[in-house]
């Protein structure tokens, strides 16, 4: 039975990812930063409903020592992982000229450094010694084309895409696949600051004339992490309803 670590698991997409992997019979490490109760509740639901082993693990993905401690917990609870899903991230809307150095550093350290920290630790501890594994990074369509008033977010997510492609080339001979999902507009808590008119306009701009759900991302993730995608690596899958083509 494979083990999966999902970072940022207490959010909308993260929760859907955990459920989707548990439905396939995989054990799940449910990562959280601050939402301990929510993560523990989710782990309990996964264990009870799908009869898999699910544990909540804490870390600030931007802090390497915190990440190392999380992987210690994962090793103790599950023995290791076969699949890493780097989903943890933050977002912020702000004019570029109004960004502070703290705004920039916080965004990059969470959305990009967090991927680096978790991926490197997973590779060193589990995947390279076993000569197998899958890393799936969650980026954004704004990492592909950029977004006004989200320069730091776009830059971080573009970095995730570049890292994905570089690692796929570096790790292919080690039997490790690395891919990326670039979600479009997905109805999660990150959308709570958008008014109804803006959301309606985003829907109209989407060729399928609908917005995404966390399950849409989770279904794509399960596929990319499965043997059905064994010849797919270094790719960026846009799950965006045609918003970016």
Side-chain half-sphere of 188: how many Cα atoms within 13 Å? 23
Contact 239, 183 (CB under 8 A): yes
Closest CA to 81 of 139, 151, 26, 32: 26
Side-chain half-sphere of 19: how many Cα atoms within 13 Å? 17
Q: For residue 109, what are the contacts with CB-CB under 8 A and spacing of at least 6? A: 62
Torsion angle of the four alpha carbons 131, 134, 139, 143, in this order, in degrees rounded to the nearest 10: 50
Contact 136, 180 (CB under 8 A): yes
Instruction: Return the number of other C-beta atoms located less than 10 Å from residue 197's C-beta.
Output: 8
The pair of structure tokens assigned to 137 is 């990074």
The pair of structure tokens assigned to 15 is 């929760």
Contact 43, 54 (CB under 8 A): yes
Give the integer Cα–Cα distance in Å for 215 and 116. Answer: 25
Give the integer Cα–Cα distance in Å for 8 and 189. Answer: 13
Active site residues: 153
């Amino acid at each position: 039975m494979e083990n999966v670590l999902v970072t940022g698991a207490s959010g909308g997409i993260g929760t859907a990812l955990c459920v989707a992997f548990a439905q396939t019979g995989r054990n799940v490490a449910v990562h959280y930063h601050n939402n301990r109760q929510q993560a523990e509740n989710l782990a309990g639901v996964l264990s009870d409903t799908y009869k898999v082993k699910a544990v909540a693990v804490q870390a600030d993905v931007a802090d390497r020592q915190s990440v190392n401690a999380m992987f210690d917990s994962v090793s103790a609870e599950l023995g290791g992982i076969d699949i890493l899903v780097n989903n943890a991230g933050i977002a912020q809307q702000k004019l570029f000229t109004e960004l502070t150095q703290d705004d920039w550093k916080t965004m990059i350290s969470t959305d990009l450094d967090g991927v680096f920290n978790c991926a490197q630790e997973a590779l060193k501890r589990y995947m390279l010694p076993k000569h197998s594994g899958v890393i799936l990074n969650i980026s954004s369509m704004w990492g592909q084309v950029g977004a006004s008033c989200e320069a730091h977010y776009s830059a971080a997510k573009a970095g995730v895409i570049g890292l994905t492609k570089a690692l796929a080339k570096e790790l292919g001979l080690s039997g490790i696949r690395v891919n990326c999902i670039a979600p479009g507009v997905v109805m999660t808590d990150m959308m709570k600051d958008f008014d109804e008119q803006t959301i309606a306009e985003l829907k109209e701009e989407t060729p399928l004339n609908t917005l995404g759900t966390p399950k849409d991302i989770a279904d794509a993730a399960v596929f990319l992490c499965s043997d059905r995608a064994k010849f797919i690596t270094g790719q960026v899958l846009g799950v965006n309803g045609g918003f970016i083509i």
